[in-house]
Amino acid sequence: MKKGIHPAYGYVVFRDTSCGATFRIRSTCTSTQTIVWDDGNTYPLIDLDVSSASHPFYTGEQRRVSAEGRVARFQQRFGLVSRRSSGAK
């Protein structure tokens, strides 16, 4: 391997913001935020929206995300249309 062209590969802490779970793994990601880990060392911190700790596929849970805006209006209209058409027959 050529020297000086590869990013530094070291420990980084990833935090799932939806459930608060933290993972320390090796990565080339960097961040200006830092966190002190259980071993007393300071590591770069990267916040994630979803990880295996909170994703429904891995947890086996189904979470409903509130639909707002256009999606909610579409679902309301579609529900009204299907009720009207079934009542007219």
Quote the pLDDT of residue 67: 46
Instruction: Quick: pLDDT tens for 22-47.
Output: 999 999 999 999 999 999 999 999 99
- The answer to whether residue 25 is domain-embedded is yes
- The answer to whether residue 59 is domain-embedded is yes
- The answer to whether residue 56 is domain-embedded is yes
Instruction: Quick: pLDDT tens for 69-86.
Output: 677 777 777 876 555 555
Averaged pLDDT score across all residues of the chain: 80
- The answer to whether residue 5 is domain-embedded is no
Q: In the chain, how many domains are there?
A: 1
Quote the pLDDT of residue 46: 93
Full domain range(s) for residue 54: 10-88
- The answer to whether residue 75 is domain-embedded is yes
- The answer to whether residue 50 is domain-embedded is yes
For residue 63, what is the DSSP state?
-
Residue 87 — very low, low, confident or very high, per pLDDT cuts 50/70/90? Answer: low
- The answer to whether residue 82 is domain-embedded is yes
User: Exposure pattern of 40-74 as b/e (b: 16+ CB <10 Å)?
Assistant: eeebbbbebeebebbeeeeeeeeeeeeeeeeeeee
Give the predicted TM-score (pTM) of the model.
Answer: 0.61
